[in-house]
Amino acid sequence: MSISVKNITKIYGEQKALDNVSFDINTGEIVGFIGPNGAGKSTMMKIITGLIPATSGEVFVNEKNVNDSDLHFRNDIGYLPENNPLYTDMYIREYLEFVAGLYKLGVNARTRIDQMIHQVGLEAEIRKKIRMLSKGYKQRVGLAQALIHDPKILILDEPTSGLDPNQIIEIRNLIAETGKEKTVMLSTHILQEVEAICHRVIIINNGVIVANDSAEKLITENSRNLQTIIVEFDAGMKKEVLEQINNVTKVIHVKLNTWLIQSNAEKDLRPEIFQFAVKNGLTVLSMQKHEKSLEEVFHELTK
């Protein structure tokens, strides 16, 4: 089950929320969809699930246009909307029965609901109305409703937002586990989450896709024009002298005999620093190449 988004533009009144957006998500992939607030993530997800129409462009779910009259593709999609709207006056089981009814699960509903309650770990809370649940447990109910019809595709809009650090890890593990046999598109502000569970990252900013690659590749690609080395020598050295090393563009004193040295060159700076040390009778006590984080890359691409 795949998703293919082709040249989607969405205009709300005067506001262009999505501007000619195209990307694919392949069967079995877990893709992180990230971007600042207002970038267009929720809008894109609503268009993929067929909840709102695009102004122009097309979305294909498993090669079928979602705008074609039959809504069968909806059975293939599980969707957890932003802010997870639930009927809070219902009991957990009552709510899941309601959702099972919408998907016409019929005689299979009961077994499936039991499976879901077990899978997302709701047994201990099963006697409570949804209103009484903590945010983490509400999120489990949201996941259960998204998974109940065993969709091949999961679209999760900020599933861990507002959760405490322990709940975040629990929900993240649940997504990683249930996502194993599914195609997953996940929006989040937690970039470690993306690095931990996503095969690929799509970054959107102001309605435009600004990156689409694995987190690793995004980091190496965006680090290419700037290397940062942190080096500790066994003795003092003057900044001006360090600035004379080939290709060095910036030198910052960190502490004592430790320096941060930057270069815009493609060539690895470390051998140069090492040779410099030898030439000047210094010993290199430690030398590390500082890698950019996904957070820094995200910041650069969306500022």
CB of 201 to ligand ADP, least distance (A): 15
Beta 153-157 vs 77-80: how paired, if at all?
A: parallel
Residues numbered 76 to 105 that lie near Mg ion (CB under 5 A) are 82
**DSSP classification of residue 292:** P
How would you class 49 by CB atoms within 10 Å of its CB: exposed for 0-12, middle for 13-18, buried for 19 or more?
A: buried
CB of 28 to ligand ADP, least distance (A): 25
Q: Between residues 116 and 146, which has the closer beta carbon with respect to ligand ADP?
A: 146
37 binds, among Mg ion, ligand ADP, none (CB under 5 to 8 A by kind): ligand ADP
**DSSP classification of residue 129:** B
Q: How many CA atoms are closer than 13 Å to the CA of 258, on its beta-carbon side? A: 7
β-sheet bridge partners, residue 43: none
Contacts to ligand ADP by CB under 6 A? 12-13, 15, 17, 35, 37-43
Q: Between residues 205 and 227, which has the closer beta carbon with respect to ligand ADP?
A: 205
12 binds, among Mg ion, ligand ADP, none (CB under 5 to 8 A by kind): ligand ADP
Residue 139 makes contact with Mg ion by CB under 5 A: no
CB of 56 to ligand ADP, least distance (A): 16
Q: Between residues 170 and 193, which has the closer beta carbon with respect to ligand ADP?
A: 193
Q: How many residues bind Mg ion (CB under 5 A)?
A: 3
**Cα–Cα distance measured from residue 96 to residue 99, given in angstroms and rounded to the nearest whole number:** 5
Residue 160 makes contact with Mg ion by CB under 5 A: no
Residues numbered 35 to 64 that lie near Mg ion (CB under 5 A) are 41-42
β-sheet bridge partners, residue 261: 229, 251
Name the token pair of 261: 């040295």
Phi and psi angles of residue 290, each rounded to the nearest 5 degrees, phi first: -85, 120
| Other CB atoms within 10 A of residue 213 CB | 15
Binding site for Mg ion (CB under 5 A): 41-42, 82
